Every structure is written in structure tokens, then in C-alpha cells.
Amino acid sequence: MSCCAAPLISDKTRDTLSASRIALLEDLKANSKQLVDGRISYLLSAPAIHCGNCITSIEDQVGKLEGITDVRANLTMKRVAVTLDGDSRSLLPVVQALENLGYATQSLTAEEAGGSDPEFRLLVRSLAVSGFAAANIMLLSVPVWNGAEGATKELFHFISALIAIPCVAYGGMPFFRSAIAALRRRRVNMDVPISLGVTLATGMSMYESFIGGGHAYFDAATSLLFFLLIGRVLDHLMRARARAAASNLARLSAKGGFVVGEAGDLTYVALDAINPGMRLRVSAGERFPVDGTIVEGVSDVDRALVTGESDPQRVVEGTGVEAGTLNLTGPVDMLATRPARESFLAEVMQMMAAAEKGRSSYVRIADRMARIYSPVVHILAFTSFTGWMIWTGGDWHQSLTVAVAVLIITCPCALGLAVPVAHVVSAARLFANGILLKDGSALERLAAIEGAAFDKTGTLTTGEPAVASTDIPPGATAAIAKALALRSVHPAARAVAHAIDGVPEPRVSGLHEVPGHGVEGLVDGRRVRLGRRSWVAALMPEQAATDAQGVAFAIEGRGLWFTTLSERVRPGARDMITALRARNIPVTLLSGDGAAQVAAIARDIGISDWQAELKPGDKLAFLTAAAGQGRKMLMVGDGLNDAPALAAAHVSMAPASASDIGRTAADFVLTHESLSSITFAHRVAKATGQVVKQNFALAIIYNVLAVPLAMAGQLNPLLAALAMSSSSIIVVANSLRLHLLRPERAEAHGPEAGRKVKPQPMAKEAIA
């Protein structure tokens, strides 16, 4: 949000609004976000969203308002994202439009404070009531089906009516409320024909019971509600699970932090009041409140949220830390670099809520079908009623029974669930394996890739050097080298320190870092140095003529040793390249580094097609040319210079260690270090596409078979209810199969996965 943004509402308008409405608008404004182009993005909670038709109605009606540049409704999170063209626009028309459509809005703060889920409680109670009614009425119907006549049959009908009427009134409340709200606003949704079918079935049965007729469909009305509620409860549970994943991440966020004053005093401030440039003190056992950089202290940090690695990572002065990560062993001071709403944790939560955001071709198909659904259903029902009235010579009972069966059997629940259920289940499966999905349509695009391009440094490699070879003798000499290396934050020094394990720390006095040269100290009166070759060799001028290269280490009067470094290939890189080739997806390595370095890495991981010394524009040109040839490319990169290529690719991925712009441009973010998650994401995307197609096929086959039977009078309302509910349950169950996907052995437990890969030909014993 911009601190200089215009007032959300004018003083004149303020006088006409209630205090609660003013508080809502101001709360929404406080949590808004100003985009780089000056537009303002708002996020509203709309708990009444429950179906695909809701999404269509909201996006159509709100999108027509003046000043709206983008609007997206999310079925899983029950939220509406609205973007206004400037900070001078008021959000009031949007709130009013949503309320006119029947979707009361609230801020995210109120949503989080609400805690419980009243809609779920209502669904469960309604399910219990309708289940009780359906079971008992089914039992009462058995004698009727077996030929009971006269007073006995009428008695069973009246008992069934006594059970059904209150149970239908209560159990159907989730559908009736939604239908009435829609009709009041002169529109229809999928709950209108459901409510109409249930009401007509119950009303017909009551009429038949009072006149002593031969047919009553109380069992159909209650069974229809029971099976519909089963599907809706399952859908709600599945979406609640997706919302819980984002909520659990929100709990990782600290509520505030201690700001260090100029005099060293500590002042606790709320999370929203922490601004870039503030110095914060984080004690052991506390979470870092915002993204920042360590400026004082040494500690171990649990960064599993970011890297997926359970081993603690050491942080020293100059190390970057992310919001939500846990400080384990010692107090540190950090300098805040970003506000809480722009932190890595906030970014992750936004991605978790975006599984349905995209408009893939499947979603567009479902949207178009949803728009024509209600008119078609009512036309079919009216046509059936009219046709049977003509055919039977005015038998309104038979005609109405057929019309009710048509209303019931054409419920589009299966069609409405076909895409979002599959996308949400896939997003949850990916998140469990360290892959954040930013856009549901990215799954469809990832499944269609015909080639993959990778950046090198920071993507295929960790971007940090590792020891390849060393001639530092083990024991006391190696211990001195490690003591010097630990004093520096330089990546090369960290690599040397990491490679030397299991040695006692010696007494080194006068430790200090010489900028641009290295680290120096004293051991037993002798100077020791670690760093740049020319500077270190000054301690041993008689050995300075050596041709050895790399990080130099010297003990005055004793010797000069060298350690060569190489890039460390990310875990899973080789397995990932092999798997992509097995799937007939060619791989290209694009890098700005020199040809020798690129060739070495390409050879090491098995890539034959590589290009070196590329500028950002060259990578972009490569992907643009591929797109011009009709090739759908996956781009995986991490740096600021990769952002244009990531945005231009058909689909893109970035590791969590990528730059902010790189993560923003990518469709997927990989939080685990292993690149094997790329092949798992591709496998999930392919499976999701198959499941969505299967769901569409199931819904279409069901309607093609069932609707003609209902219109022909071959299905009574009870059978129609069973068929319709079964189709929805089958679609949900088919989508839930995606949750069973697990990484294959090469993706999860390959020779590189799950452990740090040591560059060859390094031998640990040579230096420790």
C-alpha cells in the first residue's frame, strides 16, 4: 500500500455509511498492495462462494465496473482479488456489487479472527439430518414397494411425510438459501434447479399422500439431499485442507519483533510496523519476522520452509534470512530488507492460494458450460413437462414427475467439480513435495512442454563453490585453515571451512579480515593467511613462483598450500536430465558464463546442447525463436537476468533461492534443493490433465445417457437423485487419485537426492 494513497471514501460518502462499512473499507485499504505500475490490488474474503457459477457471476459483474482492470475469484480460498487502475478509485462499488450478488464481504483480518467454519458446521448438520431422514424413509418405503395397499400404504406415506418435511426444510437449507439469494437478484445458479427439484418432489409426494395416490417420492427428495450434501461436504473438506496449508504457513509468521534502538534499547513493534532498514534482535527459539540480513551474531537456523532440508544451517554476518525461518541456537541482530507483506513467507502463502487463479482452456470450457447450464436445464424440464402433457392427454402428475427427474438428473455438480478439484488436489500434492504452484493453468502448460532450457549458476549448480582438491595437510594445519575460513563470509572461505571436518579448533589470535585479500591471524607467533594467492604468498616468498591456482593458505616460515574450487551441482540434477530425455524432452543449457565452465557442467550432468557467454537478451531471443517455431519450452532459472526469459517461456520454474523478480516471473517455485522435483511436477501435470479429461468425459457420458432416459420417463426422481449424486462422487473420487502420486525412486531417493553432493575428485581425508 502506498503511504500517500488517496482516501478510500470521501467525507460526504463517509457520512452516509455505517461504522461497520467504513471499518471494512479502511481495513481492506490497509491490507492493499500498490503494484509497480501504480495500480492497487485488494483481496477480499467472500465466504458465500461455493460453486463455479459463483466465480462466473462475480467476475462478470464486478469486471464491468469502472476502473476495474482485473478481478479473480478463488473457489478454494473463497476470496476475490480485485485490481483498480489507481489509488484514487474507491473500493466501495466493488463491495456493493458483491453484496448485490449475494456475497457478503469481509477483510482477511476478520476472516482470520473468525477461526471456526460455520458453513462446514451447517453442511455437517444438514448431512446428518438428511441422512437420518433418507434411511428411515427408505425403511418405511420397503412395505410400499412390496405391495402394501390401502390404509397401511397411506400410513407409511404420512409417517414418511412427518419425517421428510422438517428434514428437507433443514437439510436443504444450504441449497435453498443460495437459490433464494440468487433469485432475489434476478439470476440463477446451480442451486436453483436443485432446490426446485427437491421442492417439487416433496410437494408432489405430500399431494399424493393426502389424496391417497399411489406414488410418493419422499425417499427421492431426502436421498437427493443426502447424496448432494455428501459431495458438497467432501468438496468443502478438500478445499478446507488446501486453505489449511496456507493457514499453517501464516502461523509461521511472527506477530512482531524487537527493534534495537540507537542506545541499544529494545522496543517491541507489531509485524506491520516493521519497515526496511530497522535493526531487529531475534533470540534463540524465535522466528525471523521479516526478510533481512544478519548484521551481528552467529547462530543455526532451521530453513526447512525454504530449502526443504531438515539440517540446521549456520548464519553469520552478511547471511540472508527469510521470514518464518526459526532461529535455533543464539541471539542475532538482523537488518530488515523488506516489509512483512512482501516477505518470502507472504509470497509462499499467496502462491498456495492461487491453485485456481489461472484460466486454462479446461477452466474456460467449464465456465462456458456453466453459463448456459441453468437456462438449458429449465428449458429441458419445461420441454419434458409440455411434451408429456401432450403425450398423456393432460396427465400432469406423470408430466411433473418426468420434469422433476430431469431437473434432478441434470445437476452440473460433476461438471463444476471436474477442473477445480483436480487442480487443488494437485497443488496440495506438489506443495507436499516442495513445489509451489502459482497458477492452475501452469499445470496444463507444463504437461504440454516439448523442450526445457536451464540456466547454470544457481539453477543446475548451487551458485556456491565447493572444494575440488587441496594439498593442505590434515590435522593441526587443516585446523588453522578452518579457523581462518570461519572468520570470513566469502563464499570461497565458507567452502574451505565446510570441507574441513572433525578437527579441534586451535588458538588463533588477532583474527581479522583484510577486504579484497583474505583473513589473517597469529598462531604461536607466526602469521597465518587464507585468501588471494598473491597476498598469501607474501608470507612464503620462496614458494610464490609456484603455478598452483585457487585459494591459498600459508603459515609463515612453514609452507604454502592451495585449494582449488569448483561449482557444486544441485542434488537430483543428473537424474532430472536423464528423466526428461526418457520422456523425449530435449534439454538446453543457457548460461552467461565462459565456454569452459559451461562445457564442464554440461558434460558432468549429461547435457549435449549448451550455449555459453549469453546475455539476458540472448536467452530471451532463444525462447522467442522456439515459440515462433511452435515449440513449447520450459525455462528454469534463478537470477535477475533470467526474469525476461522466465516470463517469455511457455511455462517457467525458479528455485526458492532465486531473486525476487525471478520468483515473481516463474509459474512454479521449487523450495527443495533437489532438482528431481522438476520431473515430479511434470508427472503430476500430465496426470492432472488426464484426470481433468476423464472428469469431463464422465460428466458428459453421464448427461448423454441419463438425460434422455429421464426425459423418456424411464427414471423416477429417486433414481435420478442416485444417478446425479453418484456422478459427483465419482468425479471427486477420480480427482482424489492425484493425491496418491508419490515421487518415483529416482525422484525421491536417487543417488543424488536427499544428501549434499560433493564435487569430484575431492577426497575429504585429504584435508581433514
Q: How far apart are CA 334 and CA 321, in angstroms?
A: 8
- CA 136 vs. chain centroid, Å, equals 43
Within 8 A by CB and 6+ apart from 660, the residues are none
Conformation bin of residue 362: beta by default, left when phi > 0, alpha when psi is -120 to 50 = alpha
- Tell me which residue has cell 467432501: 234
CA distance 681 to 133: 45
* Residue 155: how many other CB atoms lie within 10 Å: 13
Asked if the bond preceding 761 is cis, omega within 30° of 0, the reply is: yes
Radius of gyration of the chain (CA): 33
Q: Which cell numbers hold the place of 706?
A: 441419463
**What kind and span of H or E run contains 452?**
strand 451-454
Q: Give me the phi and psi of 615, to 5 degrees please.
A: -90, 165
Q: How far apart are the first and last CA of the chain?
A: 53
Q: Hey, what's the cell of 719?
A: 433414481
Whether 667 is a known active-site residue: answer no
Residue with cell 437459490: 179
Catalytic residue among 235, 455, 593, 642: 455
CA distance 286 to 254: 8
Reduce the DSSP state of residue 726 to 3 states and report it: helix
* Count of beta carbons in the 10 Å neighbourhood of residue 745: 10
DSSP 358: S
Cβ atoms of residues 193 and 378 within 8 Å: yes
Strand partners, 73: 80
CA dist., res. 112 & res. 109, Å (int) = 5
Residue type, position 23, single letter: A
User: Cα–Cα distance between 112 and 268 in angstroms, integer?
Assistant: 23
Q: How far apart are CA 274 and CA 256, in angstroms?
A: 8
Contact, 505 vs 493, CB < 8 A? no
d(Cα 243, Cα 115) in Å, to the nearest integer?
12
Please answer whether residues 485 and 492 qualify as being in contact, where contact means their C-beta atoms are separated by less than 8 angstroms: no
Contacts for 12 with CB less than 8 Å, ≥ 6 apart: none
Task: List the helix and strand counts (H, then E) for the chain.
Answer: 28, 26
Count of alpha carbons within 13 Å of 91, Cβ hemisphere only?
32
Grid cell in block for residue 145: 414397494
**Residues 80, 56: contact at Cβ < 8 Å?**
no
Distances (CA, A) of 190 to 341, 372, 380, 414: 37, 11, 15, 11
Taking the C-alpha atoms of residue 96 and residue 17, their distance in angstroms, rounded to an integer, is 12
CA 500 to chain centre: 40
Q: Is 456 in contact with 643 (CB distance < 8 Å)?
A: no
206 neighbors 168 (Cβ within 8 angstroms): no
Phi then psi for residue 134, to 5 deg, are: -60, -45
Q: Which residues pair with 270 in a beta bridge?
A: 256
List residues with catalytic annotation: 455
